[in-house]
Amino acid sequence: MTELPERRLMLVHAHPDDESINNGATMARYAAEGARVTLVTCTLGERGEVIPPELRHLSGAALGQHRLGELKEATRALGVEDVRLLGGAGRYSDSGMMGLPDNDDPGCFWQADVDQAAGLLAEVVLEVRPQVLVTYDENGGYGHPDHIQAHRVAMRAVELAADAGWSVPKVYWNRVPRSVAEQSFARLHDDLPGLPFDKAATVDDLPGVVDDGRVTTAVDGGAHAAAKAAAMRAHATQITVAEPYFVLSNELAQPLFTTEYYELVRGGRPAERESDLFAGVGAEEAS
């Protein structure tokens, strides 16, 4: 069997750009430290809203291929080499926002059989044998069908992989502590007159905000802030960056976090907040 790196991190995301917004600093940090970082993206984001006017002619499969190129550029900026598309490029298409007719497309990820999709992901888990897996909570952070489905598929894949021989020691969900969100938006309010953005989002617009006590882990990626910003800029169809802020297609400014936060949902809950996703991973789990 091929020898694996000592530390192995897997992230499961719904669309290209989610990885950079949620975990870009974390991914860059661990990649720089020599860990194997594996990203699994479940769709190509074919139904995303395009920001730049010169790219708004892109839609459907053409947009998906363009966003795949953006994903490759973003992961290069993060130093991440192991990038997978669940089931291969185009296996599952973007489902659109919740409640739209797009959700009924039989080829979209929202309509995928969870066990079948989880079986495909479990194959990657068994190959990579990550000690840490990161994904969304049961609401997908903010209720998008593909994010919810990514959560379901990732959590089921962990179960299937355990049955087949690799039990992932630690599973995390993406989070933002409410106190951090409130402080960041207060700074944004003060800074907004000097930004190229007209309006600010609110704490309630931010995915994954929870009471501080639920957050178990804070990964300081400040040394990799430039890499995260570069990765986000690579997703030019979806994101406009003006550090330390950015906007999506809704044109509402929000903070660009370089410390990224998590809730440990599988593995022994730490007595104090961790600073390392691999904290407590034993030697017996390293191979």
Residue 137: strand, helix, or coil? coil
- What does each of the 287 residues of the chain score in pLDDT, given as a tens digit? 568 889 999 999 999 999 999 999 999 999 999 999 999 999 999 999 999 999 999 999 999 999 999 999 999 999 999 999 999 999 999 999 999 999 999 999 999 999 999 999 999 999 999 999 999 999 999 999 999 999 999 999 999 999 999 999 999 999 999 999 999 999 999 999 999 999 999 999 999 999 999 999 999 999 999 999 999 999 999 999 999 999 999 999 999 999 999 999 999 899 999 999 999 997 546 55
Predicted pLDDT at 285: 60
Q: In this structure, are strands 132-135 and 8-13 parallel, antiparallel, or unpaired?
A: parallel
Predicted pLDDT at 1: 52
Closest by alpha carbon to 144, among 255, 258, 42, 252? 42
Query: Token pair of 146, please?
Result: 């593909």
* Global model pTM greater than 0.75: yes
Task: Tell whether residue 198 is among the known ligand binding residues.
Answer: no
Task: Tell whether residue 18 is among the known ligand binding residues.
Answer: yes
Predicted pLDDT at 205: 95
| Dist. CA 48–CA 26, nearest whole Å | 24
Domain 8-266 has CATH 3.40.50.10320: yes
Check: CB of residue 162 under 8 Å from CB of residue 168: yes
Task: Tell whether residue 15 is among the known ligand binding residues.
Answer: yes
What does DSSP assign to residue 15? S
Residues 6+ apart with CB under 8 A from 61: 46, 90
Beta bridge partners of 135: 173
| Dist. CA 211–CA 192, nearest whole Å | 26
